[in-house]
């Protein structure tokens, strides 16, 4: 697919909507609606403000915000300026934030007001940061006329309440013009850094080009998700996570749909509340939340009839959870797999064609190979490592040429994920290469064991890793979060192990059961198996 030169992501995602949808809702937040014209004007103000603060094309800008309209303003304004967008979870432990400031070398950061105090304390150690814009979603204007000049978008805190070196997002933007000539970026200019979830060392930035995001939008959002301007999107993951930036911002904007945003951390109660409030047609979720929503008392009465489809990613959706979701809500969920390295999903189930337990088929525009340890293709049905090719692949990891060379194999990305492909072309995920268990000389997928255990009524959540027995042999060890009101102990463990042995080969059944109040997860919702190994 060819993209024109110049090619700017703000033109592709935002500006085209002014032709026929200028007054259509683009963002729904709390009880307010913001049109594409309002978002456009605010983004233009941001681009002018960033440039006035010394940000140049290709400079990084670091965004640390909860999901709110100013997040959208910042993203689209960064695109307009031709700067490089980097996004970080604002709810990370404060001691982790300094790493991102210095790693990205961003001269400008846009932060939530809750971060002012900790960032102020760490300022002496932030080598590259020059300016900080502070956002608060208080409804009152920062100064007379400020809200009106921002076209009604929620505003920032007043400058008089901020420490030296911090600027009010609202006050700075209110002084800027509401139009901006987008930077004449090339399709191959740098555009966005997406952080990996840090499964090996500290999180790394996968560096992406302007056209990467349009490429996946054209193939996945339009062809697989069939997203259209009549959609309203709602997401469990937050916008800082590339999975949600795609499905809950870039994709809907590309087709003139509306995104529904909320600041709070997602919970079953929050999700049911926002589904009732916004009546979305499209839900972005993860297996953990699917499980929690099904276990919630509200699941018995909640009305999800507004949804035409849902998507799940981040980790494999167990077949047991999918079946329970369908039985209760009747809404298809398209399980798929993507990565920061490829921007978004490249293998997915399809609307009306969900093969339960699989991750579906290759997304148009992408190619897949399953290879052995020597990089040779394996036959269908055989286990191997998934390699992916498509024109949204990263150029590499910032400051990490060794890992970049390991993952990038010419035009192919080595995903390090273990898969098998069946004769019909459906892909079956068997875990990360370093998560697979070799029990009695045979590879065993933790996911297969986990799906079996989830069928036991006493098991609410579970994760399986390998552990050595007294003879030094690897056996499955299951970590279980019990259902509410269930008494844990040896009797239940024996019952669960027997349950597993009735449904799978005995060597696959867990040897040990460990009970936890909750599974350790990272800020993207993935189970941290390395932490389980330390318990």
Query: pLDDT tens digit string along 326-365?
Result: 999 999 999 999 999 999 999 999 999 999 999 999 999 9
Q: What is the C-alpha radius of gyration for the chain, rounded to an integer number of angstroms? A: 24
Is the predicted pLDDT of residue 152 greater than 70, yes or no? no
- Containing H/E element for 518? none
Q: Is 476 left (phi over 0), alpha (psi -120 to 50) or beta?
A: beta
Report the chain's terminal Cα–Cα distance, integer Å. Answer: 49
Is the predicted pLDDT of residue 161 greater than 60, yes or no? yes
Cα–Cα distance for residue pair 64/112, rounded to 1 Å? 6
Domains 9-15+31-187 and 211-432 fall in the same CATH topology: yes
Cα–Cα distance for residue pair 259/292, rounded to 1 Å? 23
Q: pLDDT tens-digit profile of 168-177?
A: 999 999 999 9
Whether the ω angle into residue 6 lies within 30 degrees of 0, i.e. cis, is yes
Q: What is the CATH number of domain 211-432?
A: 3.40.50.12780
Identify the CA nearest to 247 among candidates 192, 188, 312.
312
Is the predicted pLDDT of residue 315 greater than 80, yes or no? yes
Q: pLDDT tens-digit profile of 8-29?
A: 999 999 999 999 999 999 999 9
pLDDT at residue 198 in the model: 52
Cα–Cα distance for residue pair 269/297, rounded to 1 Å? 9
Burial class (CB in 10 A: 0-12, 13-18, 19+), 415: buried
Q: pLDDT tens-digit profile of 472-489?
A: 778 899 999 999 999 999
pLDDT at residue 154 in the model: 45
Q: What is the CATH number of domain 9-15+31-187?
A: 3.40.50.12780
Identify the CA nearest to 341 among candidates 285, 405, 414.
414
Please provide the size of the chain in residues.
Answer: 535
- Cα 361 to Cα 170, 317, 348, 428, 444: the distances in Å are 46, 15, 5, 9, 23
pLDDT at residue 196 in the model: 87
| Boundaries of every domain in the chain | 9-15+31-187, 211-432, 437-533
pLDDT at residue 147 in the model: 35
- DSSP state letter for 5: S
Cα–Cα distance for residue pair 36/16, rounded to 1 Å? 10
**Percentage of the chain modeled with pLDDT above 90:** 81
- The pair of structure tokens assigned to 476 is 């499955």
pLDDT at residue 82 in the model: 98
Is the predicted pLDDT of residue 141 greater than 80, yes or no? no
Q: How confident is the model at residue 201 (pLDDT cuts 50, 70, 90)?
A: low
Mean pLDDT of all residues in 206-212: 98
- DSSP state letter for 491: H
Identify the CA nearest to 74 among candidates 173, 180, 214, 157.
173
Cα–Cα distance for residue pair 247/272, rounded to 1 Å? 19
pLDDT at residue 151 in the model: 36
Within 10 angstroms of residue 264's Cβ, the number of other Cβ atoms is 12
CATH fold of the domain at 437-533: GMP Synthetase; Chain A, domain 3 (3.30.300)
């Amino acid at each position: 697919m060819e993209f024109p030169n110049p090619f700017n992501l703000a033109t592709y995602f935002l500006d085209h909507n002014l032709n026929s949808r200028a007054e259509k809702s683009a963002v729904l937040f709390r009880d307010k609606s913001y049109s594409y014209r309002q978002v456009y004007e605010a983004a233009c103000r941001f681009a002018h403000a960033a440039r006035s603060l010394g940000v140049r094309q290709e400079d990084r800008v670091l965004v640390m915000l909860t999901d709110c309209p100013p997040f959208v303003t910042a993203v689209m304004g960064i695109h307009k300026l031709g700067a490089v967008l980097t996004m970080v979870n604002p709810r990370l432990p404060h001691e982790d934030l300094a790493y991102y400031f210095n790693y990205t070398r961003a001269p400008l950061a846009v932060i939530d007001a809750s971060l002012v105090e900790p960032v102020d304390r760490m300022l002496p150690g932030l080598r590259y940061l020059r300016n900080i814009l502070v956002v608060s979603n208080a409804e009152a204007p920062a100064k007379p006329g400020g809200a009106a000049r921002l076209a009604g978008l929620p505003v920032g805190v007043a400058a008089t309440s901020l420490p030296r070196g911090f600027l009010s997002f609202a006050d700075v933007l209110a002084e800027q013009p509401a139009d901006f000539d987008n930077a004449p970026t090339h399709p191959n200019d740098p555009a966005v850094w997406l952080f990996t979830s840090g499964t090996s060392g500290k999180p790394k930035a996968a560096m992406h080009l302007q056209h990467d995001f349009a490429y996946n939008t054209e193939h996945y959002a339009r062809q697989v998700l069939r997203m259209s301007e009549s959609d309203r999107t709602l997401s469990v993951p937050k916008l800082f996570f590339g999975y949600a930036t795609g499905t809950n911002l870039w994709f809907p904007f590309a087709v003139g749909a509306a995104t529904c945003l909320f600041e709070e951390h997602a919970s079953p109660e929050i999700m049911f509340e926002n589904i009732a409030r916004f009546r979305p047609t499209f839900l972005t979720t993860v297996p953990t939340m699917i499980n929690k929503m099904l276990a919630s008392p509200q699941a018995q009465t909640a009305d999800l009839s507004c949804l035409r489809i849902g998507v799940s990613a981040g980790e494999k959706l167990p077949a047991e959870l999918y079946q329970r979701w369908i039985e209760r809500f009747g809404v298809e969920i398209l399980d798929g797999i993507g990565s920061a390295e490829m921007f978004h999903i490249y293998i997915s189930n399809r609307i009306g064609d969900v093969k339960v337990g699989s991750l579906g088929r290759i997304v148009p525009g992408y190619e897949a190979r399953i290879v052995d340890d020597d990089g040779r293709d394996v036959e269908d049905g055989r286990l191997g490592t998934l390699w992916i090719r498509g024109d949204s692949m990263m150029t590499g990891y910032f400051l990490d040429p060794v890992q970049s060379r390991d993952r990038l194999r010419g035009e192919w990305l080595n995903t390090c994920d273990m898969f098998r492909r069946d004769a019909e072309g459906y892909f079956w995920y068997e875990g990360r290469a370093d998560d697979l268990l070799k029990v009695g000389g045979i590879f065993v997928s933790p996911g297969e064991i986990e799906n079996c255990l989830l069928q036991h009524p006493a098991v609410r959540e579970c994760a399986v890793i390998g552990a050595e027995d007294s003879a030094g042999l690897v056996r499955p060890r299951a970590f279980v979060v019990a259902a509410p009101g269930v008494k844990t102990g040896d009797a239940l463990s024996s019952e669960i192990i027997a349950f597993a042995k009735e449904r799978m080969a005995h060597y696959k059944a867990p040897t040990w059961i460990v009970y936890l109040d909750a599974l350790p997860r990272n800020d993207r919702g993935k189970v941290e198996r390395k932490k389980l190994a330390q318990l």
